[in-house]
A and B are shown apart, each in its own frame.
Chain A
Amino acid sequence: MSHEGDRTDVEAVLGGEIDRFEGIVNRWQGPLVNLAWRYVRDRPLAEEMAQEAFVHCFRKLHQWRSEAEFSTWLFALALNVYRSFLRKRRPPTDDTVAADSLIRPSSTEAELFDSERRELIRRTVSYLPEIYRDAIVVYYFEDQDLATTAVRLGVPAGTVKARLHRGRELLRERLGRRLE
């Protein structure tokens, strides 16, 4: 990602050229929408969350210290926005509809059945307690890079590892319960 582009755009925006924020949106819309998508698996909602993250970014742009990576600052801010968004919008406690479709598959194609199982796994991540959900979402979003995940979450790599381990355990338990 263009670090220099971020820096010059931020300086221009802070100098009053609001339109230069477009460069930041253009560079980061993909990652921010995708991160939100991994939380909610609903495109309109993911875009709403990402838009909120950009609005917060715009309002707090003066707080970014240019010694720090812009991406680190932006992702920390986006994660906070997403967390508070998800706290306000509690997910439904039960999404057995997806599990039912696995027990009685409507398609005769095993491939489709497999994709439904994969989607159920991804959706179930949203129902995990926040610290495990965040660890799993960010870790896989960052292509399983433990160090980057630790930076994004602001915790030591060892903590991320422990949360991933426990998170996957919880995930397996919950998935098992859904199929019972």
Chain B
Amino acid sequence: MSARSGNRVPPVPSPGFSDDEIQRALSEDRPVEPSLGFQARVMRRLRSDAELPPLALPWKRFVAALVAAFGALAMAATVDPDLLQATARPGLLFPTVVLLVLAARCTIRSRLASEMAASRGQDSTAG
């Protein structure tokens, strides 16, 4: 043995990993403690989420859309009076109402979702 080899790292028994070594490493993993402020941080975040103002229904837009829909219907009735009668027939009335309600629901939901995303974005930027 040379003097130089005395300062070197002890030889590695085997570069590979045995099942035993893997098993030991995984089972002897020490748990970590959450940091002191963790609980307070979580509660702060929850309170700020809960304090977000409730999202108001966009009534102005809703009324405007309703007026526009009635306007379009009235215009269609003046152009072709039979159209209104055809729409009012029992067979067509229900599907028409359902379609209108679904369209309104989709519009309102997407609008609410985007407003909610915007308000959360503002909140996280402020935080």
Contacts and interface: CB of A to CB of B under 8 A. Distances in A.
Contacts of A79: none
B49 interface: yes
Contacts of B23: 168
Nearest to A48: B41
A168 B41 contact: no
Given A117-B25, A121-B17, A176-B17, A51 B9 contact: no
Contact of A18 (B7, B8, B50): B50
Contacts of B12: 105, 113
Given A168-B22, A172-B17, A22 B35 contact: no
A43 B46 contact: no
Interface stretch (A33-41, A63-71, A87-95): A33-41
Interface size class of A (residues with CB under 8 A): 35 or more
A134 to B, nearest CB: 14
A113 B9 contact: yes
A55 interface: yes
Interface of B: 7-10, 12, 15-17, 19, 21-29, 31-35, 38-39, 41-43, 45-47, 49-50
Interface in A115-138: 117-119, 121-122, 125, 136
Contacts of B25: 117-119, 121-122
Count chain B CB atoms within 10 A of each CB in A25, A37, A122, A179 and give the residue with the most: A25
B42 to A, nearest CB: 5
Contacts, number: 101
18 contacts: A18-B46, A18-B50, A19-B43, A25-B42, A25-B43, A26-B39, A33-B32, A34-B32, A47-B38, A55-B49, A105-B9, A113-B10, A117-B17, A121-B22, A121-B25, A125-B26, A168-B22, A171-B22
Q: Which 3 A-B pairs have the closest CB atoms?
A: A118-B25, A121-B25, A33-B34
B75 to A, nearest CB: 45
A8 interface: no
B9 A140 contact: no
B38 A22 contact: no
B76 to A, nearest CB: 45
A108 interface: yes
B42 A46 contact: no
Contacts of B15: 102-103, 179
Given A29-B34, A29-B38, A179 B22 contact: no
A5 to B, nearest CB: 15
Given A58-B46, A110-B10, A113-B12, A33 B28 contact: no
Contacts of A25: 39, 42-43
